[in-house]
A and B are shown apart, each in its own frame.
Chain A
Amino acid sequence: MEEQKDKISPESKEAGRRNFLKLGFLAAGLTVVGGGIEKVLSTEKKENPDTTVFTRDGKVFKADLNCLHEYTAPAVSNEEARRGIPGKKFVMVFDLAKCDGCKKCTEACQAMHFTEPDREWIKVFKMKDAETTAAYFMPKPCFHCDNPPCTKVCPVGATFKRQDGIVLIDDDRCIGCRSCMAACPYSTRFFNWSEPMQPEAVAHVTYSPEHGFPRQKGTTEKCDFCPHMIRDGKMPACVNGCPMNAIYFGDQNEDAVTNSAGTTVKFSQLLEDNSAYRFLEELGTEPRVYYLPPKNRKYPKPDLDSEGKEQKKDAKKPDMNKGMASMNM
């Protein structure tokens, strides 16, 4: 797994810091950063004050390390985490014509959330609706439904719908009854049946429903649309991780969605032009995730037999390595 490092912001007073943040969020080293992880700067770095720093919009410059200080993600209170980000309505769009089933989104997600290898918060299904219809790949995150069956049945309000459209889980409140798992028609939720495996680095972080770790035995977990990233003005892990630029994410109120290539398009126009649909619309759950039909696909379709079952994998399948990366967490 890639090593994650903390953001650094200038030591200079609050105002300066805020200005600096406006430029974009700093990342030391080369990786995009998960929030909530404290203390990464090593003493070794202090001996070498000149550090290359680059901003989210790609500007690179050198800075004296003494001018930088450890950045901790803004602490989000439990109330704020339950309320959501004011004025937003997050949406996700998957262009199935572009999806080649490489599972890079799943890998990025698993790295971001330190999930166990078998927990695919975003899972790439090989779909075939009928014998006569075409097979296609369908990545499926949590749909963050506007009429969520899961939050309705929760007896303690441990899973909840926020005003920004995101459905989250508060592991500190969850009693582990698994009503939400029974209620979710999309099999989106996972349960921590045993003591979860997680790296030391996150095992002692302060818990927030916004990033979901450290995870606890006996509670549920699922895709969370990476609210800790969104708060930092960044994209969810899966969006950034998609090499095909097939995933768009954005704010419905702004009517704009962006993919990993940085292309921002008009959300309503994207749906209009591509005859977008939502999965199992007839269930009335009002998902916040849209799909663009796999029309004119440029990549090979999944290998499925007529009954929709997966064919035995060819050992020489070229993208085998891609799938392995997520496993050595």
Chain B
Amino acid sequence: MEKPKYPDSNIPAELSEEVIREDSMRPTRNWGLSTKIWLAFLFSVAGWGLYAYVHQLRGGLGVTAMRNYVSWGLYISTFVFFIGISHSGTLVSAILRITKQDWRMPITRIAELMTFVSLCFGGIMPIIDLGHPERIGNLVIFGRVQSPLMWDVMSIITYFTGSTVFLWLPMIPDMALMRDRLTDTTKRFDKFRKWLYTKLAIGWTGSKSQWKRLELVMTIMTIVIIPVAVSVHTVVSYIFAMTLRPGWNSTIFGPYFVAGALYSGSAIVILAMVIFRKLYHLEKYITYRHFDLMGRVVLALTLIYAYLNLNEYWIPGYKMATAESHLLHDLFSGSYSSAFWLCQFGTVLLPIIVMCFPKGRTPGSLAVVCTLIAIGAWVKRYLIVVPTLLHPFLPIQDVPSDWSQYFPNWVEWSVVMGALSGMVIIVTLYAKFFPMMSMWEVVHGAQVEESKRLAAEAVAHHEIEVHKSETAKAAL
């Protein structure tokens, strides 16, 4: 077992530029057999999901378990979950950038990539849920800005565009480097890669004015992307909160969803950190210090989320107004109680306790805790969507038995699993084409550390000199 050791430096200063570059780019050069098998597996799951979706297109949404009472189910819950984890990139990258947390450097790219892929598939979940996906153009032709769903469309498109740019901007100097390093283009595949890097580098030469411009654009994007991210999950909550239904009719749904998004999103970043650290041997870069600090971030976010959970359930639970009480009884002690309490204790309270201890913020225990958080966040989304729909104001009477209950069937599971593997496919392919660390930022970080070390050495040397001269004086 690895013993916790907490290096003080953000990036080991002794690493030279070349070593850092080599460590980042090495995985992109070999497409081992395991990668191919892994991709084949992912593609078959995604293909199965696609088959299920085609089946749904043919037969209509009736092939799912959704019926007239539970008219939104696993698709919408997953939509909320995916959009939630897309907040990871903004948090780690933008918030830590703006607060000048230099330790973020080796993990920003992972975080930004998570945002990108979860938005890709979060964005298509509501389209999968449509009865008439081919009429999506009606949103443009007849679009109404008064509709919360329209707010979702607008903010998700904005956020998707923004985070794609935000993922790409810091890639530019790296792309230029990879373009220049790739000289042997005899293979067609390498030719394609060269073309890809050249396009993405958009003529980067590393001149002073280019660096200046990149820095400026990055600063602007950092500032702009934070309110956009907050707005996205706020309006996602509004598709529920703008209704009169007990359980959704809540004024704290905006912040509640944003907090839940950050809580699950940062947990996903840690999971990705654990996986890429192991797979790509990045132990030198993503150290215990990074896990410790990210663990503190997740702890803080989980505490906020727990506080909002308390408000969301304790306040109506204390008052037990008629309409709400039916839903709350079902959540607290009824058919959804085990899932509800497992979520609250197993995926909120337990992680808080574990992460309070330094040993709880090591890669191993964080991997377990963050898996719990990810699952818990997903189940919680489901618990927000489904039980509410099963407790309308008017009683559910004399309806076919499948109307008054809901559990996702194979079609929904297949489509969602297909979407999930689609996400992993993009991550895998990305990681096989592009470096998972922002090379120039890490190099810069290492240089900063090096100069810090030199400065410290100089100071120490000076002190020794002073001490020496003082003792010499005293001796005289």
B394:A125 contact, CB within 8 angstroms: yes
Assuming the contacts A149-B244, A181-B71, A186-B394, asked whether A176 and B144 have C-beta atoms less than 8 A apart, the reply is no
**Contact check: which of B61, B139, B144 meets A193 at CB < 8 Å?**
B61
Residues of chain B from 131 to 145 with CB closer than 8 A to chain A in the complex = 131-133, 135-136, 138-139, 141-144
Contacts of B393 in A (CB 8 A): 185-187, 280
Contacts of B196 in A (CB 8 A): none
Contacts of B131 in A (CB 8 A): 174-178, 191-192, 217-219
Tell me the smallest distance from the CB of B336 to a CB of chain A, in Å.
18
* A 106-136 to B, binary, CB cutoff 8 A, 1 in contact else 0: 0000000000001000010111000000000
Contacts of B69 in A (CB 8 A): 187
B132:A219 contact, CB within 8 angstroms: yes
Judge if A154 is at the interface, Cβ distance under 8 Å. Answer: yes
By DSSP majority rule, is chain B's interface helix, strand, loop, or mixed?
Answer: loop
Judge if A155 is at the interface, Cβ distance under 8 Å. Answer: yes
Judge if A140 is at the interface, Cβ distance under 8 Å. Answer: yes
A118:B138 contact, CB within 8 angstroms: no
Assuming the contacts A156-B139, A176-B132, A185-B392, asked whether A193 and B67 have C-beta atoms less than 8 A apart, the reply is yes
Contacts of B400 in A (CB 8 A): 118
Assuming the contacts A185-B393, A191-B131, A218-B130, asked whether A179 and B138 have C-beta atoms less than 8 A apart, the reply is no
Judge if B427 is at the interface, Cβ distance under 8 Å. Answer: no
A155:B153 contact, CB within 8 angstroms: yes
* B 146-164 to A, binary, CB cutoff 8 A, 1 in contact else 0: 1111100100000000000
A308:B395 contact, CB within 8 angstroms: yes
Q: How many residues of A contact B (CB 8 A)?
A: 42
B130:A177 contact, CB within 8 angstroms: yes
Tell me the smallest distance from the CB of B289 to a CB of chain A, in Å.
46
Judge if B334 is at the interface, Cβ distance under 8 Å. Answer: no
Judge if B389 is at the interface, Cβ distance under 8 Å. Answer: yes
Contacts of A73 in B (CB 8 A): none
* B 391-413 to A, binary, CB cutoff 8 A, 1 in contact else 0: 01111111110010000000000
Which of B13-21, B200-208, B235-243, B465-473 lies at the interface with chain A?
Answer: B235-243
What residues make up the interface of A, taking CB atoms closer than 8 Å to B?
Answer: 118, 123, 125-127, 140, 149, 152-158, 173-179, 181-183, 185-187, 189-195, 217-219, 280, 283, 285, 308, 310
What residues make up the interface of B, taking CB atoms closer than 8 Å to A?
Answer: 59-64, 66-69, 71-72, 126, 129-133, 135-136, 138-139, 141-144, 146-150, 153, 239-240, 242-245, 389, 392-400, 403
Could you list 13 A-B pairs, sorted by A, with CB under 8 Å?
A118-B400, A125-B397, A140-B394, A149-B243, A155-B143, A156-B143, A175-B138, A177-B129, A187-B69, A195-B59, A218-B60, A218-B61, A218-B130
19 new A-B contacts, CB < 8 A, other than A152-B146, A175-B139, A177-B131, are A118-B403, A123-B398, A125-B395, A152-B242, A154-B144, A156-B147, A175-B135, A176-B130, A176-B132, A177-B129, A177-B149, A178-B72, A181-B71, A187-B68, A187-B392, A191-B71, A193-B64, A283-B244, A308-B395
